[in-house]
Structure formats: C-alpha cells, structure tokens
A and B are shown apart, each in its own frame.
Chain A
Amino acid sequence: MKERARPTEPRTSATPVLPLRWRRWFASDLWVDFVHSPLTVLAAAIALACVCGALFAPWLAPHDPFDLATLDLGDSHLPPAWMADGRATYPLGTDDQGRDILSGLLYGARISLTVGLCSVGLSVLIGVTAGLLAGFVGGVVDAALMRLCDVMLSFPPILIALLVDGIGRLIFPQARDVLAIAVLIFALTFTDWVRYARTVRGSTLVERHKEYVQAARLVGVSRWRLLRRHVLPNVLGPVLVLATIQVGQAIITEATLSFLGVGVPPTNPSLGTLIRIGNDFLYAGEWWITLFPGAALVLIAMSVNLLGDWLRDALNPRLK
C-alpha cells in the first residue's frame, strides 16, 4: 500500500550548498511569510541593528562617556555634527557634561535591552511554570495561583515598581549599578509574570484533555514528563508572541522609571535617564540631548512590537 505525503520542496539556485535542515527552514511557511512582509523585514533589521549596537557598544562607540578622564567640559552643549557649531568627533552632539550623545545612546541601549530582556525572560520562566502547574494540577493549587494573579493584576505596574525600588534602596542604601539594575528587573518581573501564567493555564487546560496526552498517560508516562515533553511545547506558541511584544513594553517601563528618577543611576544612564537629563535642557533649545535617546527608544520598542505582531499573525493557524 503506497501512501505518501511528502511536502514538495521548492528548488532554488541557492539550495544545493545548504544542508537539508537549512533548506527545510528556508522552505517553511514561517520563513516565506517573513520574507514576503517588507515591514517585518525592516523591523527585524532595525531590531538586529539595535541589539548589535548595544552588544558591541565598547567597540562601536567613538568615546567612552563614563570615563571621567576623557570628558572635557569645554566640549559640552555641542549640537549635532551637521549643524553650525557641531564637530565631527561628536556626531550627535554632547550633553551638559561633555558626554557624547551617540556613545551614551549605545551604552544606554545596552542597559535598556538588558533590563528588558532579563525581566521578560524571568517573567516567562515564572509565569509558564505557574501556568502549567495551575492548569495541570488543578484544584486548590489552581485556585490559589489564580487568586494570586488576580491580586497582582490589580496593582498598577509602575507603582509596584516604585514600591519595590524604594524598598530596595532602603535595604541596600549604597545601591551600586548592578544592584540597581537587579532591583529594576525584579520590579518589572513582579507584575509581569501574571499574563504568561494566565495564557499558559488556559492552553494547558485545553491540551490536557487532548487525546495525545491520554495516549501518553496510557503508556505510563509520569505526570512531570507529560508536562515537560508533551504539554509544554504545545502551549509555548502564544507565550513567544507575548514575550516579544513585552520586551518593547519592558524597555519603555524601564525608561519611565528612569525618567521618574527611580531607575538606573545617572552615572550609568539608560535611555530613559538620558531622556530625563535632556528634558531639563529642552527649553534651552538644546533639543538633541533628549531627542536622540527618545528616538532610539521609540525605534527599539516599535521594531520589537512589529516583530511580535508579525509573529502572532504568522503563528495563528486560523489566518492561514
């Protein structure tokens, strides 16, 4: 009985060189969808550029804005290079301390992205675990976790972040940079894990009753292996989409907190701090100090959001 269901592989001139695994990826629906959506490709390119810029900041930045020895107060308040008083060595101008805006951007993006990615990563970890437990075990555990989520959701995230931050400073009065960032990440995670927990719980409740889970139970697979090997891979889809969009949100929240003065200290500024610093000089006419960090923030958040949007639509089987 010959029954075949082979997917047809497209033949392109580039394929003979690549191994089979790569060829399959490039032939997959996801990749083709991606390549055919110019906005998404642009967004991905921008996001990648930002990440690379942040990652390689020490090598890319023309100056080190935190090395006090290299700062020259005489170079302060310089406008961007293409304007009248600007200088080529400071492409985007300098701030009131003589720090190069471009370098500050790259280093600031580092902080912002670190906080964003770490807080989302941690939230996903906690949220997915909680959601799986709640959905699979059910009963009291489910009820308790969901009531906890309800409580967490009733708090506005910014206020919670302020609270946690304040408590953090109280406990660690000489908050060094790393500690400040850690407190910030914790503050953001505190309320953020709930959305993942709820999504995963809902999906788990559905998957748990599906017949492939029953079949595995029948064979004698233990509950934990069932959760890990069968249920988890099937509930991660929406989590991926949420997480991508959340990165943008987290970066903006961090910027807000820094803007309010409770985020990263000004000695190691993030984009939000830079915006705050520049805000003071906006009315003096020195717009570049606040505009460029603001633009960078918008660019990162928007590109990540667009990627997340595309991912959600691409992974949604009903739209196909």
Chain B
Amino acid sequence: MTGHGAPAFDRPATPATVAVEARGLTKTFVLHTPWTDRLLRRGGPRRIHAVDDVSFTIARGRTLALVGESGCGKSTLARLMVGLETPTSGTAWVDRVDVAATLSGPEDAACALRRRMQMIFQDPYASLDPRWRIGNIVAEPLLEQGLILRTQAPARVAALLASVGLQGADVRLFPHQFSGGQRQRISIARAIATGPEFLVCDEPTSALDVSVQAQVLNLLVDLQRERVLSCLFISHNLVVVRYVADDVGVMYLGRIVELAPKAELFVAPRHPYTHMLLAAVPDLRSPGRERAPVLGEVPDPLAPPPGCAFHPRCPHANERCRVERPALLPSGAVQVACHAVQEGRL
C-alpha cells in the first residue's frame, strides 16, 4: 500500500470500506501454434499479455469504470475478477477473500463466494439460453445455490422481474420473444437474484440503441444505489461511463494508464491516451471542443511496443518512453503511468 500523500481513494482501507481489490493481476494467453510452425520459426510459444500487472481498489457501494478500446484486456480483466479465468499471477480479492484460491478450494466457501459476485454480459442475444424460459433463467442462480425451494421460485422470480421493470406474467416466454433492452434487463434480474455485493458489468449497453441504453443505465444506477453494490463497469465509451462511474480507469494493451476520480478525469485528463479518447468521441452538445490529432491504431497484442506501449502514437514520446515502461504513480489526486507527466513535460 502507498504511504503518505496517497490519493484519497487509495488510502490503506479499513475492512468496511474496501469491497474489491486487485493487486498485480496478470493474465497471459499462450497461442497454440502447430509445432511445425514453431520449429520453422524457431521462436518460443507466442504469448498475449492480455492483462499486465493491473492493480486497483473499489470501495463499498462505489463504481469503478474501466475504459479502453478493443484488445486492451478489459473483458479479460472482468472475467478474472469473477473467477471465470484464473490469473497467471497476482490476486483478486472480493471483501478480502481471494477469488481464485477460494473458487478452486472447498465447495462451501466457493459457493458462498459465488453468491456474492455476479456479472452482466455484453451480448443480450447470447447471454440467455435460447431454450430456457426466462422464469427458469432467472431462478437458476437461486436454485443452484440452494437459496430457495423450487416452490418459492415463481414468487421470487416475479419480484425480481418487477424490480427491473418487466412484467411478472412474462415468465413463460423465451428470450427470443424479447427485445435487446428487455433481455439485458432479464440478465440484470438474474445477476441480482442472489443478492450479490459485487457486480461486474461487461459493456452492458454497447449492443443497445441509444434510448434503450439510457433506460438500462438508469436502472443499473438505481439498483446500485438501492442495494449498495460495488460495481466494476467495463466500457469502450468514455461518455457513457460518466453517468455510472465514481472512479475511472483507462486501459491500453492490458495496462492501466490512468486511474482517477470521475471529476478529475473529465476535467483534467493527464495521460495522452486519455486525451485522445476524450477527443475522439464525437459529442453532440460540446461545440468547439479542442480536438487533438488522432494517430494510428491499437498495435498487435502479440507484438506490443517496447517501453511504454503507447509511445508509437504519442505526440510527447521521447527516448525514455521507447525503452522504459512507466509505472502507475500518483500525481496529485490521480494515478498516471506516463513519463511525460512524471517529468513535468505535460
């Protein structure tokens, strides 16, 4: 933990305040190439560092949003946090319980942990089993965890559906009979069924239309407030994130490059990539916004640039940036991984 002068949200936390924590989370995927290929190329197995030494904390009842373009590892990070993937190194904690260790350990502890964390997925069309009725879909977590009897299921499911704004009478319908926005609500109902404390939302509104997105985002914010959920919100859209997040982290090629409270990030972004993301979003009602030139594309994750991963696209890159990887260090109230910021050039 950092010492004096640590930013407010990174103070060594008391048990009551920190709900979720990640320390040095890393996940590396090894590409399976045919051995003939490897023989001919005479190299080692190719690796993708999907998540590379990521650390953050989420206080109870607050939302951390992670933003980045495709390939930055945010979905992998989401799955690491709920135990759908096991980290190559580093740890994820939910209420000081080690996620990976508990889920692979004794069944009771694992079951208890699963009850406390849930996830909402991106694709409303693939996140519900097309052959199950939605009543059964929403009841599955409750029955699987043994929280209710089968006879009590209909009443609970009806209540859950009502809390997300759907009719209780729809329990007998199949997912394909609902629209994208409604399916996402069903996913939300399923996620909050077991009364979790930690909710991971993996781009829940990316596949939805604008007006439906508004409904779903409002619903998420309301639910979080009512149930005091700690939330990890993954998105590629910085503007959407402003409505749901308390703190925002920006990811690039598996690393966090900036981590700041919402107010700070949008008013005074530090990292050049954050500048670029903010500038790139076409905004409806901000006339005459300063637009920085947008350069290049996200590099191939199989061959990340040495040193700072962003340097090929950065207008402020110098020799040090090409060689040395910047660490995530505090700079005022935020944490930034940028040599230019640390050297005072920005």
Contacts and interface: CB of A to CB of B under 8 A. Distances in A.
A5 B182 contact: yes
A220 interface: yes
B177 A216 contact: no
Given A3-B166, A5-B182, A234 B119 contact: no
Nearest to A233: B131
Interface string B177-214: 11100100001001000100000000000000000000
A220 B114 contact: yes
Interface in B101-131: 110-111, 114, 118-119, 121-123, 126-131
B165 interface: yes
B145 interface: yes
Interface stretch (A104-112, A122-130, A173-181, A206-214): A206-214
Contacts of A234: 129-131
A3 B182 contact: yes
A4 B118 CA distance: 27
Contacts of A215: 119, 121, 127, 187, 190
Interface string A1-38: 11111110000000000000000000000000000000
B126 A210 contact: yes
Contacts of A4: 167, 170
A217 interface: yes
B126 A219 contact: no
Contact of A5 (B127, B130, B165, B177): B177
Nearest to A234: B131
B177 A219 contact: no
Given A3-B165, A234-B130, A218 B119 contact: yes
B170 A212 contact: no
A130 B123 CA distance: 30
Given A3-B165, A5-B170, A218-B82, A212 B179 contact: no
A218 B78 CA distance: 12
A2 B166 CA distance: 7
B173 interface: yes
B139 to A, nearest CB: 11
A216 B140 contact: yes
A223 to B, nearest CB: 13
Nearest to A1: B165
Contacts of A211: 121-123, 126-127
Contacts of B110: 220
B177 A7 contact: yes
Contacts of A5: 170, 173, 177-179, 182
B183 to A, nearest CB: 10
B144 interface: yes
Contacts of B187: 215
A259 to B, nearest CB: 42
B80 to A, nearest CB: 13
A230 B127 CA distance: 12
A141 interface: no
By size class, the interface of chain B is 35 or more
A235 to B, nearest CB: 10
B277 to A, nearest CB: 26
B144 A212 contact: no
Contact of B144 (A1, A210, A220): A220
Interface string B227-259: 000000000000000000000000000000000
A217 B177 contact: no
A221 interface: yes
Interface in A180-239: 210-212, 214-221, 230, 233-234
Given A212-B127, A233-B131, A217 B140 contact: no
B73 interface: no
A218 B110 CA distance: 11
A224 B202 CA distance: 26
Contact of A218 (B114, B128, B132, B165): B114
A212 B114 contact: no
B19 to A, nearest CB: 18
A217 B84 contact: yes
A212 B118 contact: no
Nearest to A4: B167
A210 B126 CA distance: 6
A219 B131 contact: no
Contacts of B84: 214, 217-218
Nearest to A220: B114
B141 A230 contact: no
Contacts of B123: 211
Contacts of B179: 3, 5
A268 to B, nearest CB: 42
Pick from A4, A217, A219 the residue with the most CB of B within 10 Å. Answer: A219
A212 to B, nearest CB: 4
Nearest to A232: B131
Nearest to B193: A219
Interface in B154-187: 165-167, 170, 173, 177-179, 182, 187
A142 to B, nearest CB: 12
A118 to B, nearest CB: 27
A307 to B, nearest CB: 23
B111 A220 contact: yes
A215 to B, nearest CB: 6
A2 B215 CA distance: 12
Interface of A: 1-7, 210-212, 214-221, 230, 233-234
Please provide the 3 A-B residue pairs with the shortest distance between their CB atoms, ordered closest to farther. A1-B165, A211-B127, A211-B121
17 contacts: A3-B165, A4-B167, A6-B173, A6-B177, A7-B177, A210-B126, A214-B84, A215-B127, A215-B187, A217-B84, A218-B84, A218-B114, A219-B141, A219-B194, A220-B114, A233-B131, A234-B130
Given A1-B215, A214-B119, A230-B129, 16 more contacts: A2-B167, A3-B166, A5-B177, A5-B182, A211-B123, A212-B126, A212-B127, A212-B128, A212-B129, A215-B119, A215-B187, A217-B84, A219-B140, A220-B111, A221-B144, A234-B131
